[in-house]
Chain A
Amino acid sequence: MTFDVINPMFLWWTTLGVVLGVTVGCIPGLTGAMVIALTLPLTFAMSPPDALTLLVAIYVGSVSGGLISATLLNIPGTPASLMTTLDGFPMAAGGRPKRALSLGIAASLAGGVFSWGVLTLLAEPMAVWSTKIGPPDMFSLVMLALVLIAVISRESLTMGLFAGSLGLLFAMPGMHPATGQTRLTFGFGELNDGLRLLPVLIGLFAVSQLVKDVGVNAAVRSDDEGSQDPRAPVSSPVIAQNTADIAPSFREWFGAFPNLLRSSVIGTVVGILPGVGANIGSILAYATARTQSAAPSDFGTGCEEGIIASEAANNATVGGALIPLISLGIPGSVIDAILLGAFVIHGLQPGPLLFQNNPEIVHTITQSYLVANIIMFGFMLLTARWMVRLVQIPKGLLVPVVLTFCVLGSYALANRMFDVWVMVAFGGLGLLFDRLRIPTAPFVIGFVLSPIAEQNLCAALMASDGSWWPFVQEPVSAAFLGISAIVCVLTLRRRRRTS
């Protein structure tokens, strides 16, 4: 076990990542997925531990940063902090912004530290167990992941499954993952390697989002949730000019402990589930806290429990989602899909062998996750009241700058224009998806998991001499397929009942 904490470069990358993450988290319209996808090409020249430290720190920062604008301006900086606006802003507007912020920041730290504990405890046993997972099991696990993300997506189940299978389809061109024969390249030599993840993600998440944001004032974002005039907070931010600023005492924290723990558990578990990210984690924890609360009617009026639940859970999902990523190579969310790409680009194969061949990488990741949470805590406490001004950066300035980085990032991946065109095309596709209400998360997860599924499908079939029976005979595989079927049927039945 190495202790990177004393390594100055480690601290530098972690701090840089957290600052970058919190900054973009605070700015509505810039999301963690976007920034991590854009940062990845810049890490090519860095050593793998440094690169992963930086990316994990950005991940932590971006999930946390949203709470600043959510609390002080009623604008969720990232979708993950949406629930924080419900109680954070009323509390801040009611004259207690410092308390609202410190509650949110401390709850974020607690959620992060909790899921770090789970990560360190669970990742290695899970990786060891995963050698028992053979090709049929792996294939079924991928199918389960696709069903889960389709079910959780906000559109209909069919739409989610459709998006997932579209993702599979777009991953088809290129080399067959088992036999190496090229297919569906339509004569384009550049398609021999298929469509690469990074330009696809940059297009879907950055370009289409930026184009959508053009001509829309950032503040309008809050008009769905609040009754407040959306423009008012931007021109006169509710930055702590009030006198009734009281940070919560230790005794108060002790009282909040059950809620903190419950929300962290929910966040961590939601994070472990493949394909379900921080947004859902905080919503579930918030809803649970409301049903468990002694005074549910206080929720939405500046209730402390609401802030704690939302922020503890969204940070806890990060650590949870790192578990299947490190131990199985299955991404738990869109950001984890990009991190999976980062592993591969830096020559690391997540899975059981990562623990055997590169234990230092595993330690670096878990330590950077913990340290990033602590740095996030300190950084946000110190700077929250100034960070909020970032929201005032005009979109007209952000859009051209970030678009340039999109082009650069896609090009840098393999030094070829082809990837830039792929990025532009997927930007257009993202806009089309938005119009047709096709959710993007199942698409990305399908796209990432497609080669894993196909390679394992072929290996399983060749091991069984063409027989499909192992998929239902192997207990683990059968269990995964069974759960997928049950989830599908339950969702359909619930939908039928309501319609």
Chain B
Amino acid sequence: MSGTHSLSGESVGKIVLNDSCWLLDQRLWFGFLAALIFTIPVRAADYPSKPVKIVVPFAPGGGSDTFVRIVQAVVQNDGLLEKRLVVINRPGAGGTIGSQFAKDAEPDGYTILNLHDGILSARHAGQTEYGPEAFEAVAATGRTGSMVCVKAGSRWTSLPQLLEAARDQPNTITFAANLGALSHFAGLKLESAFAGAGFRYVPTGGGAKRFGDLIGEHVDVSVFAVAEYAQFKDGGLQAIAYLDEERHPAFPDVRTAREDDIDVVWDLIQYWWAPKGTPQHCVDRIVKMLRDAMESADMRQRLAELMIEPLFLSGQPLQRELLKREVMISQVGTGDPIELPNTPLFVIVVTVLLGLFASRRPQIPLPRSPSEIDLSSLAAPRQHAESGNHEGFIAVRLRFTTVALLLLFCLLFSLRIAPYWLLSTSFVLVLGACLLTHNCRNMSALFAAAVVVGPGCYYLLTEVLVIDI
């Protein structure tokens, strides 16, 4: 992609520029220069000037998602940010798909990642090349302990009992955890604290999916954040141990692992990250927003309901905490998962075989029962190409023009040599003029359509929606 750095500011710059371009009409080079000049000062002056995207790298319904949506609601209700917060779930692979997305996002302050300690474990498990250093650490908000859970009515009722079973018959008890994610490390840490114990890890997905698989008896045990446990408890989840220094006040019946001489403390802090290179004033603004949010009475109450400790760290204390945790995670082994089938290879082989087979005998259609006779006529467009001989040549030429103009439009758009609204207006006008018969009615309709599609859509998308063109 060209001009990656200027992308960020352009949307802001262009809004200012939009008016001047109207007046200058088609002198786009002036416009472009003006965009370059105006980009930086405008950007510094008013952040945020459009909604800020919060990337949640987990599926909805899990602990992270719930937490972020509460922050979003508090920020919105108390008006802690001038623009809206938009929550985007980018789940997959233990949070790494979302974190990669945020890492590669434009460092303009409009993409903020929420990711807990998983950012540390993913690198330790070899899933990502990057750790906290690839981001600007914004703040840490909220801490939760974790619960070891089974399905209510399971044959294991205490942690020692479970671990003994995992020692006597290692690698038989299934443990729902995403490989390299925190749930996985919690399991590994339990194993290391109880010599000889071994679980069989099953990658099932985020908190909500792990819960579903426990309830459906597809796995035996998993680890949930207290917030998740509170959410799923009534659905048939039972905690057998709490992995913290002391019992949780809301669940005084659940023993801590330490009470049973299993020295495992496994907690989770929610961190907020900005892509590396995000201007400091944007980071500071988000820190202020988060601090205000964490201090609001509403937030305190919601956090208490979710059993989240209202921790808040930023700046130096945050860096120290991150360092401490990185050291702790690096002391846990990574386990060795089983060999998984090479799906891409398998799919390629099958595709090639089917392709060869299909190309060898393509002429035999399906038998035609009465109900299927008319199916073939659904392929109407293809039959045009075959039947329309006399118009064929013109049609082919027009199609070629359409494709060529589309490619040119995309190319110019990607090079950003002219504002989007100008490009799209010209595209519609030129292509329409090629395809339509030139009469007064058609041309005036085309002109109207071009105006709506060009400047109209540009206004709608940049001013009303959150799209950055």
Per a CB cutoff under 8 Å, which of B96, B205, B453 touches A455?
B205
Q: Which residues of A contact B296 (CB under 8 A)?
A: none
Q: Which residues of A contact B432 (CB under 8 A)?
A: 396-397, 400
Residues A157 and B366 in contact in the complex (CB < 8 Å), given A193-B101, A401-B449, A403-B406: yes
B416 (CB) vs chain A CBs: closest residue: A417
B212 touches A351 (CB 8 A): yes
Q: Which of A19-27, A132-140, A367-375 lies at the interface with chain B?
A: A132-140
Q: Is the CB of B365 within 8 A of A220?
A: no
| Closest residue of A by beta carbon distance from B206 | A349
The answer on a CB contact under 8 Å between B339 and A159 is no
Do A131 and B461 touch (CB < 8 A)? no
With A45-B466, A220-B384 known as contacts, the answer to whether A283 contacts B375 (CB < 8 A) is yes
Of B211, B365, B397, B442, most buried by chain A (CB within 10 Å of CB) is: B365
B window 409-426: CB within 8 A of A: 409-410, 413-414, 424
Question: Which residues of A in the span 287-313 have a Cβ within 8 Å of any Cβ on B?
Answer: 287-288, 290-291
Of the listed stretches B187-195, B300-308, B388-396, name the one at the interface; the rest are far from the partner chain.
B388-396
Q: Does B171 contact A (CB under 8 A)?
A: yes
Tell me if A36 is interfacial: C-beta within 8 Å of chain B. Answer: no
B216: Cβ under 8 A from any A Cβ: yes
B333 to chain A, nearest CB (A): 17
CB <8 Å contact, B442 and A397: yes
Report how many residues on chain A are interfacial, defined by Cβ distance under 8 Å: 111
Inter-subunit contact A347/B370 (CB<8 Å)? no
- Asked if B215 contacts A224 (CB within 8 A), the reply is no
Q: Which residue of B is nearest A131, CB measured?
A: B216
Q: Tell me if A408 and B414 are in contact (CB < 8 A).
A: no
Dominant SS among interface residues on chain A: helix
A255 on interface, CB distance cutoff 8 Å: no
> Known interface pairs A159-B362, A214-B399. Does A154 touch B379 (Cβ–Cβ under 8 Å)?
yes
Residues of B within 8 A of A495 (CB): 364, 366-367
Residue from A177, A223, A279, A405 in contact with B378 in the complex, judged by beta carbons closer than 8 Å: A279
Known: A156-B366, A397-B449. A347 touches B89 (CB 8 A): yes
Q: Are B60 and A165 in contact (CB under 8 A)?
A: no
Q: Using Cβ atoms and an 8 Å threshold, which residues of chain A touch B428?
A: 400-401, 404
Segment with Cβ contacts to A, from B271-279, B280-288, B350-358: B350-358
CA–CA, A35 and B38, complex, Å: 37
The answer to whether A397 touches B354 (Cβ under 8 A) is: no
The closest CB in chain A to the CB of B415 belongs to A417
* Cβ contacts B71-111/A at 8 Å (1 or 0 each): 00000000000000011110011101100110010100000
**A183 near B: Cβ within 8 Å?**
yes
Within 131-150 of B, Cβ neighbours of A (below 8 Å) are at: none
**A180:B212 contact, CB within 8 angstroms:** no
Q: Are A497 and B367 closer than 8 Å at their CB atoms?
A: yes
Would you call A349 and B398 a contact (CB within 8 A)? no
- Judged by a CB distance under 8 angstroms, whether A4 is at the interface is no
Q: Is A34 an interface residue (CB 8 A)?
A: no
Chain B residues, Cβ within 8 Å of A457: 341, 343
Query: CA of A151 to CA of B444 in the docked complex: distance in angstroms?
Result: 48
- What residues of B have a CB within 8 angstroms of the CB of A231 in the complex? none
Q: A180-B96, A215-B398 are in contact. Are A395 and B435 (CB under 8 A)?
A: yes
Q: Is the CB of A462 within 8 A of B355?
A: no
Q: Contacts A215-B391, A407-B409: A45 and B340 contacting too (C-beta < 8 A)? A: no
Interface check A109, CB cutoff 8 A: no
- Which residue of B has the minimal Cβ distance to A418? B1
A360 interface contact, C-beta 8 A:
no
A389 close to B (CB within 8 Å): no
From B172, which residue of chain A is reached at the shortest CB distance? Answer: A465
Interface contact A154-B376, CB-CB below 8 Å: yes
**Shortest Cβ gap from B283 to chain A (Å):** 21
Count of chain B residues with a beta carbon within 8 Å of a chain A beta carbon: 119
Could you tell me the distance in whole angstroms from the C-beta of A465 to the nearest C-beta in chain B? Answer: 6
Residues of A within 8 A of B435 (CB): 214-215, 394-396, 399-400
* Chain B residue with Cβ nearest A348: B60
Enumerate chain B residues within 8 angstroms of A498, measured Cβ to Cβ.
367-368
> Closest CB-CB distance, B240 to chain A, in whole Å?
20
Contacts of A348 in B (CB 8 A): 60
* Closest residue on chain B to residue A434 by CB atoms: B382
CA distance A458 to B179 in the complex (A): 11
Across the interface, which residues of B come within 8 angstroms of A212, CB to CB?
381, 384-385, 399
Question: B316 at the A/B interface (Cβ < 8 Å)?
Answer: no
Report which of A172, A216, A424 forms a contact with B388, defined as CB distance below 8 A.
A216
In contact, A404 and B96 (Cβ under 8 angstroms)? no
Residue ID in chain B nearest A223 by CB atoms: B387
Bound Cα distance from A358 to B231, whole angstroms: 13
Which of B23-31, B196-204, B256-264 is the interface stretch?
B196-204
A494 within 8 A of B: yes
- Between A and B, 13 residue pairs with Cβ closer than 8 Å are A134-B218, A135-B204, A157-B366, A178-B179, A283-B375, A348-B60, A349-B60, A353-B209, A358-B60, A407-B413, A458-B203, A462-B202, A462-B338
Interface residues, chain B, CB within 8 Å of chain A? Answer: 1, 51, 56, 59-61, 65, 86-89, 92-94, 96-97, 100-101, 104, 106, 122, 127, 171, 174, 178-180, 200-205, 208-209, 211-213, 215-216, 218-219, 235, 337-341, 343-344, 347-348, 350-351, 354-355, 357-358, 361-362, 364-368, 370-372, 374-385, 387-388, 391, 394-399, 402-403, 406-407, 409-410, 413-414, 424, 427-428, 431-432, 434-437, 442, 445-446, 449, 453, 457, 461, 464-469
Given A155-B365, A166-B351, 15 more contacts at CB 8 Å? A155-B366, A166-B355, A175-B93, A176-B93, A177-B93, A179-B127, A179-B203, A183-B344, A352-B212, A400-B435, A407-B406, A418-B1, A455-B203, A463-B202, A491-B366
